[in-house]
Amino acid sequence: MAMDLVILPKGSGKYDILDTKDRIIYTVTKKKRLIGNPITTLHDASGYALYRLIRTEFGKKPAFQIVFNEKAFMAVKCESLFVDPTITFNGGSYRYELRGKDSRELKLFSYKDEIGTLITERQANNEPKYRLSVENKYFDDFIPLFAVVADKCFNGTNK
């Protein structure tokens, strides 16, 4: 079995994350700060803030931190944009990679095991829509942020 989600960008750094029955189970919001980078936050269906995503590097290959309980627990790096597009997620006992030959069809790996996919499609308005599928035993609440990171890294290359 797999957890299948659809991630819909809503503009201004906001996303709705739906299950297979089109129920919103997570939302992502972005809050601008007076000093420093904007904070992107993953909320559960009841609105409880679960994780924050903070950009730590700008440019062609951005980097991020995923923060839980005010502590960075995962470093995220866009390693390659065009030739074998790859994003790495590292922290503590976690090691993930989104990679593929095309940024619209990425495979998700935990260490060397393939555990899921992230497919980019186009909506009628030409905005991206992401289909994330992750084996249930590997799914964790922070994994929908992987699609948000892919959108931030590759959205310009998926048009």
The pLDDT assigned to 33 comes to: 67
Distance of alpha carbon 159 from alpha carbon 84, whole angstroms: 17
Number of structural domains found in the chain: 1
**pLDDT bucket at 157, cuts 50 / 70 / 90:** very low
Domain of 53, CATH number, reads 2.40.160.200
Q: What are phi and psi of 84, to 5 degrees?
A: 50, 65
Average pLDDT over residues 75-83: 92
Q: What are phi and psi of 115, to 5 degrees?
A: -120, -5
The pLDDT assigned to 36 comes to: 67
The token pair that represents 154 in the structure block: 């590759």
The separation between CA 47 and the C-alpha centre of its own chain, rounded to angstroms, equals 18
**pLDDT bucket at 159, cuts 50 / 70 / 90:** very low
- Of the CA atoms within 13 Å of residue 115, those in its CB half-sphere come to 19
Q: Amino acid identity of 136?
A: N
Q: Amino acid identity of 134?
A: V
Residue 37 has pLDDT above 90, yes or no: no
The pLDDT assigned to 156 comes to: 53
Whole-number CA gyration radius for the chain? 14
Residue 34 has pLDDT above 70, yes or no: no
* Structural domain boundaries enclosing 123: 2-157
